[in-house]
Amino acid sequence: MTIATVFLAAVAAVIVWWLAHQQLLSKPWLEVGHAYDRRREPMPPAKIGLAVFLAVVGSLFSLAISAYFMRMASSDWGQLPLPGLLWINTGILALGSVALHAAKLESQRRHDEATRTILLAALATGLAFLTGQVLAWRALTAAGYFLAGNPANSFFYMLTGMHGLHIVGGLFALGRLTARAWSVPLDRRMRLSIELCAIYWHFMLLVWLVLFGLFSGWAGNVVDFCRQLLT
């Protein structure tokens, strides 16, 4: 459970940092008047909501990864070979992330036409990534690496599946956004939505990179290295 605890410690650090700016040491009974409220320019609620949601998703994946390491200690573990296709998929996902970042910048520069085109491109990369993942699954099953064959396989299919479902959810939101962007002029709310999609995509790319590192064994080496440093 070390990974999950470390992740939650990071979340806790953010919470403590935030609480430290909330005058928790003040004596509220001595303070009358509304001027004690020092909130400045509020962040849009949707952005905070997304941040909290990503913390939840992060918790989900860090717990699953904790389980991965704990199960890995068992003797029946047999690493499965990663299809080369995953490298291409990683590239495609990164491309989507870059595209959404570009869409965000273009929308802020009020380049509506360019934004629309890039959104379509981002949507396409998302679909391509999912297709690529399914092809990778098929390649693995064709090579005899079935879900129940080995715990390493089980974790591979489960984690990629969970990640894929999150991408599907993201694509649903992105698809709705793109459809709307093509029918009406972009306004403040839509620009915010584009920015949120970009953040979500960056996060999912990060999760994917961690998972990819995990499956290829690098993450295990890093963890071993950290253990050696500690002992």
Partner 1 sequence: MVDVRSGIGEALPPPEVEDVELYHPHSWWTRYVFSQDAKVIAIQYGTTATAIGMVALALSWLIRLQLGFPGTFELIDADAYYQFITMHGMIMVIYLLTALFLGGFGNYLIPLMVGARDMVFPYANMLSYWIYLLAVLVLVASFFAPGGPTGAGWTLYPPQAVLSGTPGGKDWGIILMLSSLIIFIIGFTMGGLNYVVTVLQGRARGMTLMRMPLTVWGIFTATVMALLAFPALFVACVMMLFDRLLGTSFFMPAIIEMGEQLQYGGGSPILFQHLFWFFGHPEVYIVALPAFGIVSDLISTHARKNIFGYRMMVWAIVIIGGLSFIVWAHHMYVSGMNPYFGFFFATTTLIIAVPTAIKVYNWVLTLWRGNIHLTLPMLFALAFIVTFVNGGLTGLFLGNVVVDVPLSDTMFVVAHFHMVMGVAPIMVIFGAIYHWYPKITGRMLNEVLGHIHFWVTFIGAYAIFFPMHYVGLVGVPRRYYELGETTFVPESVHDLNAFITVAALIVGAAQIVFLFNLAWSLRHGREAGGNPWRATTLEWQTPETPPPHGNWGKELPVVYRWAYDYSVPGAPEDFIPQNHPTPGRLSHEGAS
- Helix, strand counts (H, E) of the chain: 7, 0
Would you state the structure tokens that stand for residue 128, as one six-digit string? 């391509």
| Residue 172 interacts with partner 1 (CB under 8 A): yes or no | no
For tokens 């629309």, what's the residue? Answer: 116
Output the smallest distance, CB 224 to partner 1, in A: 19
Helix (H) or strand (E) holding 153: helix 151-183
| Residue 114 interacts with partner 1 (CB under 8 A): yes or no | no
Q: Which stretch binds partner 1 (CB under 8 A): 54-62, 105-113, 118-126, 175-183?
A: 54-62
**What letter represents residue 143's amino acid?**
A
| Residue 49 interacts with partner 1 (CB under 8 A): yes or no | yes
Binding to partner 1 in span 134-153, by CB under 8 A: 147-148, 151
> Toward partner 1, which CB reaches closer, 47 or 109?
47
| Residue 192 interacts with partner 1 (CB under 8 A): yes or no | no
Spatial separation of the C-alpha atoms in residues 125 and 134, rounded to whole Å: 14
Q: Find out whether 72 and 226 touch, Cβ atoms under 8 Å.
A: no
Contacts of 88 (CB under 8 A, 6+ apart): 132
| Residue 164 interacts with partner 1 (CB under 8 A): yes or no | no
User: Binding partner 1 by CB under 8 A: which of 6, 10, 20, 53?
Assistant: 53
Q: Find out whether 212 and 86 touch, Cβ atoms under 8 Å.
A: yes
Q: At what angle do helices 85-108 and 112-142 cross, to 10 degrees?
A: 170
Spatial separation of the C-alpha atoms in residues 51 and 57, rounded to whole Å: 10
> Toward partner 1, which CB reaches closer, 27 or 230?
27
For tokens 């790319």, what's the residue? Answer: 205
Output the smallest distance, CB 227 to partner 1, in A: 16
Phi-psi region of 110 (alpha: psi -120 to 50; beta: other; left: phi over 0): left
| Contact code string over 11-40 relative to partner 1, x by CB under 8 A | xx--x---x--xxxxxxxxxxxxxxxxxxx
Spatial separation of the C-alpha atoms in residues 220 and 59, rounded to whole Å: 19
Residues binding partner 1: what is the number (CB under 8 A)?
54
Spatial separation of the C-alpha atoms in residues 76 and 164, rounded to whole Å: 27
Binding to partner 1 in span 69-98, by CB under 8 A: 70-71, 74-77
Q: Which stretch binds partner 1 (CB under 8 A): 61-69, 97-105, 132-140, 190-198?
A: 61-69
Output the smallest distance, CB 98 to partner 1, in A: 28
Output the smallest distance, CB 161 to partner 1, in A: 9
Give residues in contact with partner 1 (CB under 8 A).
1, 4-5, 8, 11-12, 15, 19, 22-40, 42-43, 45-46, 48-49, 52-53, 55-56, 59-60, 63-64, 67, 70-71, 74-77, 147-148, 151, 154, 158, 162
